[in-house]
Chain A
Amino acid sequence: MSEHAHGDQKGSRFIQHHYDDAQHQFDSGKLAIWLFLAQEVLFFSALFVAYIIFRTQHPEIFEYGSQYLDRTMGAVNTLVLIGSSFTAAYAVRCAQLRNQRTLVICLAITLACALGFLTIKYFEYSEKIHHGTLYGKKFVPHVDPDGATFPEDAVIKPCIHGSEGNLGADPSIPPPAEGEAAPCPDNTNMFFTLYFAMTGLHGLHVLFGVFVFIWLLVRAMKGHFTPDYYGPVDYAALYWHLVDLIWIFLFPLYYLI
């Protein structure tokens, strides 16, 4: 509707033709972003439900699997995200107050944090790939949770129990003999399936946030955002808080408990 926009006297040139005024446009966008976030919560919810179901049925898988995760990296990432949530929120205030310079700085920091989060995640994932602690059939760990290498012939065969063994421990399969290095609970692979599914999906959301903040940064530098038109900053910040919030759940669920 851009060809109509210039004719109307509604403040910022970004106020679209079919809205009554800047406030009307802002409110509509705000409602929509909340609905979008509700959608996001439901989108993730299925995975949380899966987590709850598998965890209540097989807590041992989760207790064992989580020892493989690096708490320090997880904790650093948590701080990085919370910090960026703050700068995202502050960016909104700067836009409202026409504080152009700080707005750009805040958006840049948020962007940097998002990239930092992904970098740390990259190191975590590559370590998992390296150690063979992956999902499904690719779960062939070479090390135990403390980092000690398994002997060559002790590849974790009995860890996956398919339909014959059904979910969980199967009494017909003898426990590993004394001194044998395969103490992982049956189906530990499910821990990593869920871990990669949930953190992966979350990571994709962070990646999407990176693009959003690049776009905002460019627009902010062009001076598009004014007190009567700062909706996109506000909406992106809300989105970012949700991404942050989901991580705040993921961190304890996988790394701590």
Chain B
Amino acid sequence: MAKENPENPSYTSFLEDPHGIMGHRGGFWGWFGTFDHKRIGIMYLCGILASLMVGGLFALLVRLELFFPGETIIGPQAYNEFFTLHGAIMVFLVIVPGIPAALGNIALPMQLGAPDVAFPRLNLASFYLWCVGAVLLVGAMAMGFVTDQTGVDTGWTFYTPYSLKEHTAGDAILMSLVGVFLLGFSSIFTGLNFLTTIHKFRAKGMGWFQMPLNLWALYATGIMQVLATPVLGITVLLLSVERFLEIGIFDPVLGGDPILFQHFFWFYSHPAVYIMIIPAMGVISELITTFSHKHIFGYRFIAWSSLSLALLSFLVWGHHLFVSGQSRMAGMIFSALTFTVAIPSAIKVFNWTATLYKGVIRLQTPMLYALSFVLLFTIGGLTGLFLGVISIDVHLHDTYFVVAHFHYVMMGSTLVAFLGGLHYWFPKFTGKMYPEKLGQFISVMVFFGFNLTFLPQFVMGSRGMTRRYWDYDPEFTLMHQLSTIGAFVLGISLFIVVCYLFWAAYKGEKAPPNPWGASTLEWESPSPPPLYNFVEQPPLPELYEYDELVYDDEEGGYVRKLRDGGEVRSYRRYVRSKPSGGH
């Protein structure tokens, strides 16, 4: 690469550079044969957004069915299959991989100042696993519609004995279990890759406490992915073998223990909810400080709280079994431990709000999502505490209250953070800006649509509306109808987001290297970055210090002051060149 001017080096963006791809091919293999973490991240993004649309479609069908009591559009069996399809897709294909595998893949090596993840091939292999798992999972569930077999109708939790052969014949469940198994290993390998990368690829001079908080979050997530997901793996493996060979481990008819399945399942799935939320918290930490133009408040508290959440989340799975025949003693211990989870969660919320205080707040789209997150997560987390109280949970368990709780944390928090992060890094990896005004408008619609959908569900749930029921008493009609209307507002808004992002990736305005004035390393590289992320290794910027960044009209973004001694000499800019062809 020729360097005409050391301060304005020219480079080739990774989107144009054919290197780093098996066999120098363009087109299909240019993507599916790439080792580049940014391309892999973009492929994940496309897959995840597609899954989001499919999962969303089924959510809307479920909500439509509930618009009136009795049959509206589908019968009870189809209803069971639809909500299972919705839940399983959203959990295993969208929310779990959403932030780590897609956004994390793009951001993590860059924030570390590394050329790539530690194991680029493994990274691609994880993506392939995700694809195969997705095809199996969705395929199995579609079997219920295209063949005369029963589809998967167990709910996303696959509880035994619903999921046993005596209850549901056919191969659909087996196939979806294999899919979940592969998705689990995709997640494990991503976590392993990220942990190794964070340990071994930090830029020179970047100690643990100079890492952006997003990396702390991904680190904590990685630990949980590596330590919790294998238990899901063995659980669905045993359940597959159970269906295939009838070994009897979970089957009460053969002397097995169905509650054991619930324990195994939640031993994974409770940490899994933190696999979903912690990376979201990491993204939010970045967004809040950047768009407040102010140093994050309580850096170490936020970092440690990520780790302590990771630890505590392993100890509370029993709060899903309060009414499943768990001993009263166990219930009390799990209840007490559940309360402790609130402490690190609240620490984060307080630190974010303290960061906002006296900040220079700019309400661009990512920040609007971040603010929604703080509010919605607070509601979701607090209602989790209600559910952690045994006596109250006996009343609320398996009602819409639980449904509303976990949608506030999974959708209202994780998905909203994902959208915030997506808008935040979008200019970085595409080199294009999304339409800002539209983005802001839609983020407000998402917020209102979301609350309209799920606030009524808290009300219904506390009045006894059970979850997963196809029919309901007429007294709940109004609440259900509000919820359905909200769901459509939300669904349409999300659809618009996907559309305009695709449009902007091709037609958007050119993005500057640092449109937001963010202080972490990925913004020291041009947009889109070159193949190995940096034109030349930038000096480590002061983390969350914004004084050295100034807005530059010519660039349309922020540039870093380059100093000679104390004097500001000039500003860093990049010149993008045509692909260089040879090496």
Q: Is A222 an interface residue (CB 8 A)?
A: no
Which one of A40-48, A105-113, A118-126, A241-249 is at the B interface? A40-48
Given A43-B231, A46-B235: A35 in contact with B195 (beta carbons within 8 A)? yes
11 A-B interface contacts by CB (under 8 A): A18-B114, A18-B120, A28-B118, A35-B196, A40-B230, A43-B233, A46-B264, A50-B249, A135-B245, A160-B255, A189-B248
* Inter-subunit contact B248/A193 (CB<8 Å): yes
Decide if A136 touches B196 in the complex (CB within 8 Å).
no
Verify if A186 is at the interface (C-beta below 8 Å from B): yes
* Complex interface bits, B192-236 against A, C-beta within 8 A gives 1, otherwise 0: 110110011100000000000000000000000011111101110
A-B CB pair tally, cutoff 8 Å: 117
Q: Which of A27, A38, A163 contacts B252 (CB 8 A)?
A: A163
- B254 at interface by CB-CB < 8 Å: yes
| Residues on the B chain within 8 Å of A193, using CB | 247-249, 254, 256
- Kindly list 8 other residue pairs between chains A and B, CB separation below 8 angstroms, not including A3-B19, A46-B234, A196-B247: A1-B20, A3-B24, A32-B192, A39-B230, A43-B230, A138-B246, A189-B254, A197-B247
Residues of A within 8 A of B (CB): 1, 3-4, 7, 17-18, 24, 27-28, 31-32, 35-36, 38-40, 42-47, 50, 53-54, 135-138, 160-163, 167, 186-187, 189-190, 193-194, 196-197, 201
Are A136 and B248 in touch, CB under 8 angstroms?
yes
Complex partner residue of A44 from B234, B247, B249, CB under 8 angstroms:
B234
Inter-chain CA distance A169–B238, complex, in Å, is 25
Q: Which residues from B are CB-within-8-Å of A47? A: 234, 238
Asked if residues A18 and B115 are in contact (CB atoms below 8 Å), the reply is yes
Does A39 lie within 8 Å of B196, measured CB to CB?
no
Rounded to whole Å, the gap between the CB of A41 and the closest CB of chain B is 8
From residue A26, how far is it (CB to closest CB) to chain B in Å? 10
B231 adjacent to A162 (CB under 8 Å): no
Interface centre among A1, A27, A35, A161 (most CB of B within 10 A): A35
In the bound complex, do residue A163 and residue B196 qualify as a contact, i.e. CB atoms below 8 Å apart? Answer: no
Indicate if the CB atoms of B115 and A39 lie closer than 8 Å: no
Q: Is B257 an interface residue (CB 8 A)?
A: yes
Q: Which of B199, B201, B255 has the most CB of A within 10 A?
A: B255
Most chain B CB inside 10 Å of its own CB: which residue of A18, A44, A196: A18
Contacting residue for B227 out of A32, A42, A53, A162, CB 8 A: A42
Please report B residues at the A interface, Cβ cutoff 8 Å: 19-20, 24, 35, 114-116, 118-120, 188, 191-193, 195-196, 199-201, 226-231, 233-235, 237-238, 241, 245-249, 251-257, 260, 264, 267, 532, 583
Give every chain B residue within 8 A of A190 (Cβ-Cβ). 248-249, 254-256
Q: Does the CB pair A39–B227 fall under 8 Å?
A: yes
Chain B hits for A44, CB < 8 A: 234
Contacts of B199 in A (CB 8 A): 28, 31
Cross-chain contact A136 with B245 (CB below 8 angstroms): yes
Cα-based distance from A69 to B171 in the complex (angstroms)? 34
- How far apart sit A126 and B188, CA to CA, in the bound complex (Å)? 35
Q: Are A18 and B532 in contact (CB under 8 A)?
A: yes
Rounded to whole Å, the gap between the CB of B272 and the closest CB of chain A is: 13
Nearest-neighbour CB distance to chain B for A177, whole angstroms, equals 23
Interface hub of B19, B24, B235 (most chain A Cβ within 10 A): B19
Q: Given the complex, which residues of A lie within 8 Å of B253, measured CB to CB?
A: 162-163
Identify which of A7, A46, A189 gathers the most chain B CB atoms within 10 Å of its CB: A46
Residue B228 contacts which of A32, A36, A42, A160 (CB distance < 8 angstroms)? Answer: A42
With contact pairs A28-B118, A32-B118, A161-B255 given, residues A38 and B260 touching in the complex (Cβ less than 8 Å): no
CB pair A135–B248 under 8 Å, yes or no, is yes
Chain B hits for A27, CB < 8 A: 200
Distance in angstroms from A37 CB to nearest chain B CB is: 10
Residues of chain B with a CB closer than 8 A to A53's CB: 257, 260
User: Min CB distance, A21 to chain B, in Å?
Assistant: 12
**Cβ distance B132 to chain A, nearest Cβ, rounded Å:** 19
Interface contact A46-B231, CB-CB below 8 Å: yes
